[in-house]
């Protein structure tokens, strides 16, 4: 691949804009030697305005999503991409969220530009659990854990029952729910199915990965060790 295309794929601009950056001498190697659009790609040795390049393709990112942000690329309101560096939205291949969280749900959201990895994370075969902490509007009735674990609970307008889910009761209005699948508004609809209402929802874990001490609204690039952790639940 030519350098100009590599930089355009990383979101530094259109090919035309990146070609201009070359002409302006803004693209150099680590020693400050000016590079040319046709030069071969030596990612780690390149600088734009003296700064190392953004990471190459193969990103896995963790975001601590706050309430009020939509998992969309073009919602008119606040979107999760507003919380990542602006260039990351312009990358090719696209950096997409792995599944979604509702606007009113906070917590752990992953992004990747690696289609195979995305597929592996969401594939039922990987059996990655997702853990949610929910605050309920009404006291628990007492039969919820059994209903969620049954493997027979049907959500409205669905054809197949939910897989067994594990409900841990913190107190009468606070629960930790572990799911092994991801259906639309699943947690909220599960509690609606047992006559309750979710007031607040937070995803704390996906597989073996937690948010650790990542503050709300912040993101972190995940390394190989974190990927192994993700699949080692």
On whether the CB atoms of residues 169 and 93 are closer than 8 A, the answer is no
Between the alpha carbon of residue 13 and those of residues 7, 20, 28, the distances in Å are 7, 10, 16
Task: Indicate the residue among 46 and 187 with the shorter CB distance to ligand URA.
Answer: 187
The two three-digit tokens of residue 221, written as one number: 């690039």
Give the nearest distance from C-beta 113 to ligand URA in angstroms: 22
Q: Active-site residue 171, yes or no? A: no
Report the residue number, 4 or 179, with the smaller CB distance to ligand URA.
179
Contact assessment for residue 46 and residue 34, using Cβ atoms and an 8 Å cutoff = no
Q: How far is the CB of 59 from ligand URA (least distance, A)?
A: 22
Q: How far is the CB of 195 from ligand URA (least distance, A)?
A: 16
CB of 136 to ligand URA, least distance (A): 13
| Nearer to ligand URA among residue 41 and residue 147 (C-beta) | 147
Question: HSE of 230 in the Cβ direction (CA atoms, 13 Å)?
Answer: 20
- Is the CB of 91 or the CB of 188 nearer to ligand URA? 188
DSSP string, 24-84: TT-EEETT-PBP-TTSBP-GGGEEETTEEPPP-S--EEEEEEPTT-BSSSS-SS-BGGGGS
Distance in Å, CB of 185 to ligand URA, minimum:
4
Tokens matching residue 12: 């530094």
Assign residue 209 a region (left: φ > 0; alpha: ψ between -120 and 50; beta: otherwise).
beta
Computed over its alpha carbons, how large is the radius of gyration of the chain? 22
Catalytic residue among 39, 102, 104, 114: 102
Angle between helices 224-231 and 115-122 (to 10 degrees): 30
Of 60 and 187, CB closest to ligand URA:
187
- Residues making contact with ligand URA (CB under 6 A): 101-102, 105, 185-188, 201
Active site residues: 102
């Amino acid at each position: 691949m030519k350098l100009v295309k590599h930089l355009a794929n990383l979101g530094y601009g259109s090919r035309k804009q990146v070609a201009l950056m070359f002409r302006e001498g803004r693209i150099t190697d680590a020693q400050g030697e000016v590079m040319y659009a046709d030069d071969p790609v030596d990612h780690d040795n390149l600088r734009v305005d003296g700064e190392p390049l953004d990471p190459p393709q193969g990103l896995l990112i963790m975001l601590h999503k706050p309430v009020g942000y939509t998992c969309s690329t073009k919602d008119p309101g606040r979107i999760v991409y507003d919380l990542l560096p602006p260039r990351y939205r312009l990358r090719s291949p696209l950096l997409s969220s792995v599944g979604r969280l509702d606007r009113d749900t906070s917590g752990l959201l992953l992004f990747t530009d690696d289609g195979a990895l995305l597929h592996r994370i969401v594939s039922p075969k990987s059996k990655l659990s997702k853990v949610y902490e929910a605050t309920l509007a009404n006291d628990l009735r007492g039969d919820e854990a059994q209903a969620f674990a049954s493997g027979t609970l049907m959500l409205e307008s669905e054809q197949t029952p939910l897989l067994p889910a594990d409900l841990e009761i913190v107190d009468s209005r606070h629960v930790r729910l572990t799911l092994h699948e991801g259906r639309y508004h699943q947690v909220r609809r599960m509690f609606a199915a047992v006559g309750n209402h979710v007031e607040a929802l937070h995803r704390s874990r996906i597989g073996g990965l937690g948010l650790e001490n990542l503050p709300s609204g912040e993101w972190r690039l995940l390394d190989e060790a974190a990927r192994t952790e993700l699949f080692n639940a």
